[in-house]
Amino acid sequence: MKIELKDYNVETKDELSFGDMEDIQSIIGSGEDLLKGNAKLMEVSILSIENKEGEKVSYSDSWRRNLNMSDGVKLSQEVQKLVSDTDDKVKKN
């Protein structure tokens, strides 16, 4: 999935793997806060990042934390859809 932000174009996985979900759930389920789970979700789901000049940018926690507010919220909402889509697929089977 491609997500266009103000300063970046981000490509994410179309679907999370079982291992991705385990990684995310281990953080949330261990009593650590939801924000760390959201950060892990971004880490496992983002495939590539390019700035508007077409230069590749490496994902890092610092990159994520320094996004402007509207881009950070938009990116978070979009990757959260991967979790809900995965949940929906599991329920259908």
For residue range 41-82, list pLDDT tens digits in order.
Answer: 999 999 999 999 999 999 999 999 999 999 999 999 999 888
- Mean per-residue pLDDT of the chain: 87
Bridge partners of 50?
9, 56
Mean pLDDT of 5-18: 93
Residue 50 has a pLDDT of 97
Confidence of residue 28 (pLDDT cuts 50, 70, 90): confident
Whole-angstrom Cα distance, residue 39 to residue 28? 11
Structure tokens that stand for 85 in this block = 């889509």
Confidence of residue 37 (pLDDT cuts 50, 70, 90): confident
Tell me if the pTM is above 0.75.
yes
pLDDT beyond 60 at 25: yes
Residues 6+ apart with CB under 8 A from 65: none
Helix boundaries (H) for the chain:
18-29, 34-45, 61-65, 69-92
Whole-angstrom Cα distance, residue 35 to residue 32? 8
